[in-house]
Amino acid sequence: MSDTSVSQHDDGRRALSREWLVARIVVIGGCVVAVAAVLWFGWIQPGMLKREAIAAAQEQARQNVEAATQLCKTGLASAQTFGIVPPYGQLFGHNIYRTNIQGRYVCVAATHAARYYVAVELLCRNTKDRHCVSLFSVTQSNGTVLYKRAS
């Protein structure tokens, strides 16, 4: 073999070696990108979305509890203003009960001597405005109706 032939053969081998190196880099790089994409879209991003959804649900629940508490406080204040529930009566727990009438809710208030079920109607969305909460009825725990607004 001649020198030129060996030199061309060596040049060809070096070129082929570079091509294989580039091919390996592309294949390995592609695999790394594919694995990264699977990790991101299959594990990291859903976890982030889940945390955001949980945080949003917790915030909504907190706002609902605040609105319910405010609704009950306003209803109790109305019952106390009318003289139906003694001024020292307080809300009993944080529960608010829905009735089968849309917009009507029942809260429980108590004194040391009696328990009262205060039914209120929500007339508009602002539970802090006393004009949006209307006292419907006050009933003692034994079933005695102390007040009922005419329908």
pLDDT tens figures, 95-150: 889 899 988 999 999 999 999 999 999 888 777 777 888 899 999 999 999 999 88
Question: What's residue 139's pLDDT?
Answer: 94
Which tokens sit at 67?
Answer: 């609105």
Model confidence pLDDT, tens digit, residues 49-92: 888 888 888 998 888 888 888 888 999 999 999 999 999 999 99
How would residue 4 be classed by pLDDT, with cut points 50, 70 and 90? low
Is the entire prediction scored with pTM above 0.85?
Answer: no
Burial class (CB in 10 A: 0-12, 13-18, 19+), 69: middle
User: Are 96 and 105 spatial neighbours (Cβ–Cβ below 8 Å)?
Assistant: yes
Distances (CA, A) of 79 to 60, 64, 70, 101, 102: 29, 23, 14, 20, 21
Query: What pLDDT is recorded for position 44?
Result: 77
Six-digit token string for 137: 């009825």
